Structure 1
């Protein structure tokens, strides 16, 4: 098992240079967990810069995903949220965990197709369930902490956008407060055997409107008219959503999304939106 340079770069941006030691020790950690949990690694999954994920076969022949992060808090908060959403049919379950090792074992979802290629789809059943089928947990950070961190990460990724970061803190206290997924977009919603299923939360407590930004600013949205059309659809489908608050959140988060995009019409629109 090797860790290529692109993965090292992503993890270094997210966690700093010290993460190199964790990446070097990762093969031994995977081997140890596979022995404990009776797993056989099939292959690694290409993901973001927070976790490494391996598709595994369990002793009974079923498949599962071994998710590993160098940050114990990331594993702990995700486990807390998954347990809080255990009543929801639209959130992935957790099979077993070792937060000291930064490890979660999650069941495979079939067919597991991401909905990122369906930009017109807004997963209302997921959004409703994550608000309603939840036991609000204690011990999670506040949304304001995540907004600050995302602003810091944006500066690391795109220093030229630093002057546009820092917005949104004032929005975290208002709106409908609850358990926020924190990273709910088309790559983190999969087609399951009985409907759509969300994965990979970055959970906090705060304004639930935050989880709607990626659906308002879906891939391809590059004009104010298209954004307003999406917001109108969302407010029609979710009675608790205030359109003006969602627009304000879109303006606050636009620069964070822009920092992850290549030059183009949507990135230009998001930078313009962030300047308002």
Structure 2
């Protein structure tokens, strides 16, 4: 894997090294971070889980458990840093876009403050993947199952990583509680209220691109209701 931003390659490699031996994470074979290069193991068939008909919830629970129980090595940014970066990027994308008419900057700012408060309150000291959506989890085949790739790591509250998963049933007409019911049996210590708070805090980030495309699906409307 070649990454033009060498700092991203370095942080990604550091997280994958920290997770060395975790079966639910792609393994690093070699690195040349000065060139932005990471040699990764092959994952077969390697299809993204967003293409899967059914979410393998037990495997996702195991994945989250594996990555969040590893002790963070020194040198990672905080989850507060990650949230600041994400919302800065979102603000630049929102200003002047067609989405701004429905999602004003003031709404984004309110969500940013919610997310920063969650990130800074001292809950959790895990390596947070930071970009754990279904497109960054691959099918490793019947002998292995779900395998995570492409971390944007930080240290903080592991509940952050659940937002992209528990909201999946909402895309099919379900509820957030359906997502909770799907993952909770497979994730010891699951904190529904904490995960709900992260879903609310991150809700604008789920709808910016759909709004730019003019989409007003039930999922978009539900996420907009979280933004209020």
TM-score (norm 2): 0.83
CA RMSD across the alignment: 1.9
Q: Which residue number in structure 2 is paired with residue 142 of structure 1?
A: 78
Higher relative contact order (CA 8 A, sep 6+): 2
SS of equivalent to 1:256: helix
Written as runs of structure 1 = structure 2, the 5 A alignment for 1:101-250 is: 101-118=35-52, 120-121=54-55, 122=57, 123-132=60-69, 134-159=70-95, 160=100, 161=103, 162-165=105-108, 166=112, 167-172=114-119, 173-193=121-141, 194-218=144-168, 220-221=170-171, 226-250=175-199
* CA spacing shift, 1:253–1:222, aligned 2, 3 Å: farther
Find the partner of 1:259 among 195, 200, 208. 208
- The Cα shift of 1:119 comes to 6.5
* Helix, strand or coil at the partner of 1:201: coil
Cα deviations across residues 22-49 of structure 1 (Å, max 9, x unaligned)? xxxxxxxxxxxxxxxxxxxxxxxxxxxx
Task: Return the structure number with greater strand share.
Answer: 1
Displacement after TM superposition at 1:231 (Å)? 1.8
Task: Give the secondary-structure state (helix, strand or coil) at the position aligned to 2:209.
Answer: coil
Unaligned runs of 5+ in 2: none
| Larger Rg belongs to | 1
Contact residue 169 and residue 179 of structure 2 kept, 8 A: no
Supply the distance in 2 between the matched residues of 1:107 and 1:126 (Cα, whole angstroms): 17
When normalised by structure 1's length, the TM-score is 0.69
1 CA distance for matches of 2:78 and 2:221?
Answer: 30
* CA contact 2:71–2:126 (8 Å) conserved in 1: no
Structure 1 residue ranges without an equivalent (≥5):
1-66
Tell me, in whole angstroms, the C-alpha distance in 1 between the residues paired with 2:82 and 2:34. 22
Paired residues, what number? 207
Q: Once the two structures are superposed, what CA deviation does each residue of 1:35-66 show, in whole Å capped at 9, x if it has no partner?
A: xxxxxxxxxxxxxxxxxxxxxxxxxxxxxxxx
Segment drifting more, 179-188 vs 155-164: 155-164
Of Structure 1 and Structure 2, which has the larger fraction of its residues in helix? 2
Q: Using the alignment, how far apart are the partners of 1:163 and 1:84 within structure 2?
A: 38
